[in-house]
Structure 1
């Protein structure tokens, strides 16, 4: 099972030894993990050092390295250059995709996100019928910004009427930032593996955003992070610390149902991104979007990463 490795302790050294990523503190090894078991490497700490081999070996496996700021949101991502064997052809198809196709794909992504939000609210005891109606009202390209309309209702219901989503905020916002960082890493890896380019978004088009496509494709999964954060808060854990981060990294193993059966989120995300790549190639939007899981909660905690 692929793991998200989080480096949260200052002044550690990362190296590669015989197929393992090793983590050392002043020359003493603190832990190790097989390179083939890593789904993403997330670094929060100050003074972390590493050998170049860390990047080359993780790059060989298509593993992104995410470096975060003090708000637990990603500041940079090291993305492997080599991806799918059809990478060149798929990137050309992605670049040449007609605008109507992108708008149709965005419609389906927004609808899936709003329906997932409604499902999360329903599981938390709220009336969510309006969210199904909102999802049905989304038009191609979402020109009416139904996504924002749903968000305004959603945040107040899930976290209380005084809650405001703030990327630079702490507590709940910090937990959300960290969970979304994990999601972005999962989608970035799937994008690389599918031969697409992360900068060429479907909807997000900020010239400074090198991972616009990852931000687009993670949208339907965001409510799953929100539910895990809600469960943590209900248990009295509202701060970003090693314990809560470990819980949030486990979203990669969350089981999601599909036509092919139940699969971990990391696997379902790969199928979703592959369907996006095929949509670019065929010119028809046929997306394998995530479905609500049977259960979403904050799993019991265990030993934390470095």
Structure 2
């Protein structure tokens, strides 16, 4: 499995040594990771420095460097210029995609997300029958914003009636922020590897968002982060006198979510592999001008118990 390396120690220097990323502080080696194993480096700490050689070697392997703020949400990403041998043609097809095609693609994404939310709520012991009706209600482009209707039902059922999704809150949102950061890096890497431009989204289109397409494609997988965060609360991870602390064990559980197996038509595949399949299917949808996205089957409660 690809490794997501978390840099949480202040004032370290990252460099390359014989095929490894070397982590040093004050001249002392703190650790090393094989470059070929790295999918992304996630930086939370202050005063971290890099060698230009390391950035180049990571880019050659398609690995990202993610810079996070104090709330563990991503502020910027460093990504490779080239990602696929057919990148030019695929980006041209992406640019030329018609509005009806993008609306149909977004419909498929929203339906897949609602189905995944339904599976998560069933595993949590909640009545999620309404989500089946909501999924069938989604039309091309989701003009009725069924996605938001589902979210208004989903969050209180999963985390309680007082919960609000707030990136700056110091409750379970801390787990969600970090989990979404890891998931976003995974999806962004897959999008680039599929030869697509991550800025050109199907639905998300904020001018300041350089990874709008990654934000589109991560939507069906977000509920898996939500479930993992709920399990961390249940297991009392990171609980410090009533507050949430994102410790190394909690981070490990959230990253491990990417290795959770989901069912595809012909096999069981880790979440990271499903993300890659979805990104490639999107590239083919642009090339063939028809919506043909490939999503995994939502897991059952017994399967989710492994997360």
Alignment partner, residue 95 of structure 2: 95
Larger mean CA deviation between 286-295 and 124-133 belongs to 286-295
Is the CA contact 2:182–2:255 (under 8 Å) kept in the aligned structure 1? Answer: yes
Secondary structure in structure 2 of the residue aligned to 1:47: coil
Alignment partner, residue 28 of structure 1: 28
Secondary structure in structure 2 of the residue aligned to 1:23: strand
Larger mean CA deviation between 196-205 and 164-173 belongs to 164-173
Tell me, yes or no, if structure 1 residue 245 matches structure 2 residue 272: no
CA distance in 2, matches of 1:75, 1:98: 30
Alignment partner, residue 303 of structure 1: none
Shift of 1:298: 7.2
Aligned length: 299
CA distance in 1, matches of 2:67, 2:229: 21
Shift of 1:296: 2.6
Tell me, yes or no, if structure 1 residue 296 matches structure 2 residue 299: no
CA distance in 2, matches of 1:17, 1:252: 28
Is the CA contact 1:3–1:252 (under 8 Å) kept in the aligned structure 2? Answer: no
2:279 to 273, 278, 288: 273
Alignment partner, residue 304 of structure 1: none
Tell me, yes or no, if structure 1 residue 68 matches structure 2 residue 76: no
Shift of 1:12: 1.1
Is the CA contact 1:228–1:296 (under 8 Å) kept in the aligned structure 2? Answer: no
Is the CA contact 1:114–1:131 (under 8 Å) kept in the aligned structure 2? Answer: yes
**Are the structure 2 counterparts of residues 28 and 298 from structure 1 closer, same or farther at C-alpha, using a change threshold of 3 Å?**
farther
CA distance in 2, matches of 1:188, 1:98: 22
Alignment partner, residue 124 of structure 1: 124
1:264 to 267, 270, 277: 270
Tell me, yes or no, if structure 1 residue 217 matches structure 2 residue 217: yes
What pairs with 1:1-306 in structure 2 (closer than 5 Å)?
Answer: 1-237=1-237, 238-293=244-299, 295-297=303-305
TM-score, L = length of structure 1: 0.96
TM-score, L = length of structure 2: 0.95
| Alpha-carbon RMSD | 1.1
CA distance in 2, matches of 1:71, 1:297: 28
Is the CA contact 1:220–1:290 (under 8 Å) kept in the aligned structure 2? Answer: no
Shift of 1:128: 0.8
Secondary structure in structure 1 of the residue aligned to 2:291: coil
Unaligned ranges ≥5, structure 2: 238-243
Shift of 1:272: 0.6
Shift of 1:297: 4.9
Q: Deviations over 1:44-83 (max 9, x none)?
A: 0001111011110000011111000011110000010011
Q: Deviations over 1:152-184 (max 9, x none)?
A: 110000000001111121221111011000010
Shift of 1:150: 0.4
**Are the structure 2 counterparts of residues 8 and 297 from structure 1 closer, same or farther at C-alpha, using a change threshold of 3 Å?**
farther
Unaligned ranges ≥5, structure 1: 300-306
Q: Deviations over 1:234-277 (max 9, x none)?
A: 01124312221111111221111101201111111111100000
Greater RCO, 1 or 2 (C-alpha within 8 Å, sep 6+): 1
Secondary structure in structure 2 of the residue aligned to 1:46: coil
